[in-house]
Amino acid sequence: MIQIVLPWFVDHPCNPSALPIIAVALWTGWFYASLIFGMQTRDQEHDADRAGWTLIPDVSAYISAMKKLAESNLFPGGYGGNTHPPLDQRIQAAEKYLAERGVAEIYPSVTR
């Protein structure tokens, strides 16, 4: 791609004036790639949480652990960066799952 775009700006890639353009192009590519991979990783974290909740009998223990993590500030601002969902969203999703599972155990005909 650099070979296609670069001739618009400089006459030869070995020209030192091409370095800022190449640096900006590489940084831009890295930035958008990290956003895309971060979204994919966040989705995988949501799926992993959901799979974990189905495997453990007591989801309230998970909720309690996440609240303790939030209180101890191990994730600054409750946010795990680009790869993990914020702790408050994880806690809310677990509480919602626990409520849905409670309804499903009382009324087995209700689907999730």
Mean pLDDT by 10 residues, the chain (112 residues): 62 72 85 85 88 87 86 63 78 89 54 46
Instruction: Say what the pLDDT of residue 51 is.
Output: 92
64, 71 contact by CB (below 8 A): no
Instruction: Say what the pLDDT of residue 3 is.
Output: 63
